[in-house]
Structure 1
Amino acid sequence: MEQPQQSTEPAAPAGKPPEGRPPLRVGMVGYAFMGAAHSQGWRTAGRVFDLPLSPVQAVICGRDETAARAAAGRHGWADVETDWRALVARDDIDLIDICTPGDSHAEIALAALAAGKHVLCEKPLANTVTEAETMTAAAEEAEARGRLAMVGFNYRRVPATALARRMVAAGRLGTLRHVRVNYLQDWLVDPDFPLTWRLRRELAGSGSLGDLGAHIVDLAQYLAGERLAGVSALTETFVRERPLPRGAGSGLTAMPAAGTGTVTVDDAALFTGRFTSGALASFEATRYATGRKNALRIELNGERGSLAFDLERLNELWFHDATEPGPEAGFRRILVTEPEHPYLEAWWPPGHGLGYEHTFVHQVRDLVHAIAEGRRPEPSFADGLQVQRVLAAVEESAEKNSVYTPVAL
């Protein structure tokens, strides 16, 4: 069996690129969950893929110096800053990676672009459409100066979803009729779970809608190859008061560590939509699906076939070819581990699956190629803005439908 090609270069010390490739010096703001995931991408991509630029983990930034230094040592960053403004001002940084809560995305991104840096910003792009519009305009101006910006919708980088996009684009489904997608978690089921920053509108922008709904809106539009034209929605907050958090790191440290606070975001969002082609779509995003940890599932139905993907089985794609004879037709599993599949040319022999963390490696790979080639990366800030507009339309619709009046049967 032919083995996949792996880089034979020795690992470079932190902060130094391998010989022969120009460096891409990265400064990352934030070191929690997403910071760890992004670190994995920056640390690994150049050692798996043959990249035109060499990512260098130059600086990690966080307000808590002790925690930031611990994260730097754990994840391979060469230096530490405690003020993102100082990081953006450094002339030894080429790219700013934003892994902070949504309330700071716009300010950091705008400053970084103005300072002549490339930008990678976690999703959702911003907390409001106005912020996202400002960020997109700044990104377009920066692009004219050779500086590029991308938003981090990592589920596009699962090999199975990338293969699904390839199949849809090739016409394997024919005319699209239905898209149905849900993203289910259960980490808020316990009413005693504390009031973290993700439950405060001023920090997170929205709840399950922005946290999970942004992912599934982007993924549905990416796979369909078209945009949503309209939505109708319901949202709900099931537990409206929660214990205030204790200690640092919550994003709410100015509040007293006693009593309760009000949840100001949605816990669940349900909405239907219609694509520009007329295809119908349904979406569900919730953090109250008891027993579901990170269950994202999407299915596309067309006149000639259907595709289905489940994140809990992320090396598999299910395909039904409706052009086959009826007695032989049915959904069949495609094991997405062949070197001909997206991203798999550099990984393991067929049958050796990848995981969640590899999506961030692939994200870095695609961004580095876009920067080296001087082309707009995808998804761009303009793509992130469009998702933000869908989220805003969902909230507007849900507000209008807040008094649920069922039709008598």
Structure 2
Amino acid sequence: MGVNKKQVRVGLIGYKFMGKAHSNAYRNLPFFFDTEAVPVMQAIAGRDEQGVKQAAEKMGWASYETDWRRLVEREDIDLVDIGTPNNVHAEMAIAAAKAGKHILCEKPLTMTVEESKKVLEAVQEAGVVHMISHNFRFSPAVQFAKKLISEGRLGKIYHIRATYLQDWIMDPAFPLVWRLQKEVSGSGAHGDLAAHIIDLARFLVGEFKEVIGLMETFIKERPIASSSEGLSARGNMEEKGLVEVDDASAFLARFENDAIGTFEATRFAGGNRNGNRFEINGEKGSIRWDLENMNNLEVFFVDDEPGLQGFRTINCTEQHHPFAGAYWPDGHIIGYEHTFINMMTELMKGITCGYSPSPNFEDGLRNQIVLEAVEKSVQDKRWTKIEEILPVASGVEK
């Protein structure tokens, strides 16, 4: 480590799926990116001492805690990374802000708009750097899509159609894991998957104006979970609990810039393991992206020569594609894990320069507003304007 490098001592809360993804990013960031600030894997926290101890040893953390509060209070922690279920995000983030720590939080930011408002107020009052983990923004292909749109290459945007399709809970015998428990997750596919495509839409197209949606729960009861790891779990078929969250959500949207959108999030799309996809159509062209083929961006321009028109495939691994130049020679593809490295590179820049990189907690609040507007539209069976949710939210402008 260079003598002029600023060390950012990280405390990570949670050590399973997202804990693994974040740990990998902290370990590998200095290898690929030459940032003025570098993460130091200081401590990891989890309730199960045996599990968190093993995770610390395997993933390279210097120490561990079994109480997240002790981690937040430690003087040798500069950045608190929250990789836990949704129901504790707000409490942990507010505590970390009051302790003067910078914060990275997994999505969705909180369970409700009201909670998100309080979290945003806490980090603004504390003056700490904050970021929300919407890692898909940081695929080089998505960043290149943003560049094309910002440069006007697609002209006025007409449409976005976005889907996030999975199938991992289609079996009725799949247990009632925390993602299917309303008191822990807040919502189902809507808050887990639609949160990502809402963030991508705001990043690429702009702010939402109004929405109308529907939500459905296909399996009403499931076995109580006895253990879980990542997206797999075991359960007891003799004991069942009610599923109180959605299995699928779908909604239409109008944007402030007059674009329209269709959005679908489900865990019941058989054959789709992780189908995060979007297509954006403008007056001058279109773009398509698919997470399962994440290095490629499909691009179409209306002024291409007749007879040769059609979508071209751009492999976004060349030196002039965002972030790609830090990795391998052109055409040598990167993967899911690198989106986290790219994201945390921006976080290190923010900590160095004293700003909160986007997506930050204001983005998290805005995303939560859209999520709740869709839920309200389902309840009321009508179009719901974003401004109907905005009055309870501070920190964002209408």
Fold conserved between structures, TM > 0.5: yes
Contact 1:93 1:117 in 2 (8 A): yes
Corresponding position: 1:195 with 2:176: yes
Comparing 171-180 and 17-26, the one that deviates more: 17-26
Q: Would you say 1:120 and 2:104 are equivalent positions? A: yes
Instruction: Name the residue aligned to 2:339.
Output: 359
State which of 127, 137, 155 in structure 2 corresponds to 1:156.
137
5+ residue gaps, structure 1: 1-16, 403-409
Quote the Cα distance in structure 2 between the aligned partners of 1:49 and 1:156: 18
Secondary structure, counterpart of 2:307 in structure 1: helix
- Equivalent in 32, 56, 62 of residue 46 of structure 2: 62
Q: Moved runs in structure 1, 4+ residues, more than 4 A?
A: 247-250, 255-258
Identity of aligned residues (%): 47
Write the letter of the residue equivalent to 1:275.
F
Q: Structure 2: which 5+ runs fail to align? A: 383-398
> How large is the RMSD of aligned CA atoms in angstroms?
1.6
Matched to 2:15, the amino acid is Y
Q: Secondary structure at the match of 2:336?
A: coil
SS of 2:123's equivalent in the other structure is helix
- In the other structure, the counterpart of 1:205 is 186
Looking at structure 1, the residues matched to 72 and 211 of structure 2 have their Cα atoms a distance apart, in angstroms, of: 38
Q: Give the partner amino acid of 1:374.
A: G
Measured in 2, the distance between the counterparts of 1:152 and 1:248 equals: 22
8 Å CA contact 2:347, 2:356 repeated in 1? no
> Which structure: greater strand fraction?
2
Q: Which amino acid aligns with 2:226?
A: R
Q: Among residues 212, 216, 237, which one is paired with 1:236 in the alignment?
A: 216
**Stretch deviating more after TM superposition (327-336 or 127-136):** 327-336
Q: 1:125 to 1:326 in 2, by over 3 A?
A: same
Using the alignment, how far apart are the partners of 2:175 and 2:111 within structure 1?
22
Equivalent residue for 1:51, pick from 27, 31, 35? 35
Q: CA deviation at 1:244?
A: 0.6
Q: Which residue of 2 aligns with 1:165?
A: 146
- Aligned residue number for residue 12 of structure 1: none
Distance in structure 1 (CA, Å) of the matches to 2:320 and 2:349: 19
Q: Deviations over 1:162-201 (max 9, x none)?
A: 0000110000000000000000000010000000111011
CA positional deviation for 1:327: 2.3
Question: Bigger shift: 100-109 or 39-48?
Answer: 39-48
Q: Does 1:40 align with 2:24?
A: yes
**C-alpha displacement at 1:345, in angstroms?**
1.6
Native 8 Å contact 1:246 1:257 kept in 2: no
In the TM superposition, what is the alpha-carbon distance from 1:210 to its structure 2 partner?
A: 0.6
Secondary structure class of the residue paired with 1:244: strand
Shift of the 290–177 alpha-carbon distance from structure 1 to 2, 3 Å rule, reads same
CA distance in 2, matches of 1:321, 1:249: 44
Matched, 1:97 2:81: yes
1:398 partner letter = V
Q: How does 1:361-400 map to 2 (within 5 A)?
A: 361-400=341-380
The secondary structure found in structure 1 opposite 2:262 is strand
Does 2:158 correspond to 1:174? Answer: no
Structure 1 residue 258 displacement after superposition: 4.7
Residues 177 and 228, structure 2, Cα contact 8 Å, conserved in 1: no
Q: Take 1:220 and 1:206, find their aligned partners in 2: how far apart are those partners? A: 20
Corresponding position of 1:401? 381
Q: Secondary structure at the match of 2:300?
A: strand
Q: In structure 1, how many angstroms separate the alpha carbons of the residues matched to 2:339 and 2:19? A: 14
Alignment of 1:212-361 (within 5 A): 212-224=193-205, 226-247=206-227, 258-361=238-341
Distance 1:305 1:256 in 2: 52
1:35 alignment partner AA: G
Check the 8 A contact 1:247/1:257 in 2, yes or no. Answer: no
SS at match of 1:349: coil
SS at match of 1:67: helix
Q: 8 Å contact 1:142–1:148 — kept in the other structure?
A: no
Residue 60 of structure 1 aligns to a residue in which SS? strand
Q: Deviations over 1:61-90 (max 9, x none)?
A: 000010001111111111000001100110
Instruction: After TM superposition, give the deviation of residue 43 of structure 1 in Å.
Output: 0.8
Q: Find the counterpart in structure 1 of residue 12 from structure 2.
A: 28
Cα distance between partner residues in 1 of 2:94 and 2:159? 38
Contact 2:45–2:71, Cα closer than 8 Å, also in 1:
yes
* Alignment check: 8 A CA contact 1:18 1:54 kept: no
SS of 2:346's partner is helix
Are the counterparts in 2 of residues 160 and 314 from structure 1 also a CA contact under 8 Å? Answer: yes
Larger deviation: 317-326 or 275-284? Answer: 317-326
**Deviation digits for residues 253-299 of structure 1, max 9, x if unmatched?**
xx999510000100000100001011110000000001110011100
Structure-1 residue corresponding to 2:388: none
Question: What's 1:74 paired with?
Answer: 58
* CA distance 1:82–1:280, shift in 2 (3 Å): same
- The aligned amino acid for 1:366 is E
- How far 1:333 sits from its partner (Å)? 0.7
Sort the Cα spacing of 1:141 and 1:172 in 2 relative to 1 into closer, same or farther, 3 A. Answer: same
The CA distance in 1 between the partners of 2:236 and 2:114, in whole Å, is 32
Distance 1:247-1:162 versus aligned 2 partners, 3 A rule = closer
Letter paired with 1:356: Y
**Distance of 2:306 and 2:110 partners within structure 1:** 48
d(CA) in 1 for partners of 2:71 and 2:171? 38
Measure the CA separation in 2 of the matches of 1:351 and 1:18: 31
- Residue 139 of structure 1: CA displacement? 1.7
SS of structure 2 residue aligned to 1:328: coil
Deviation of 1:346 (Å): 1.2
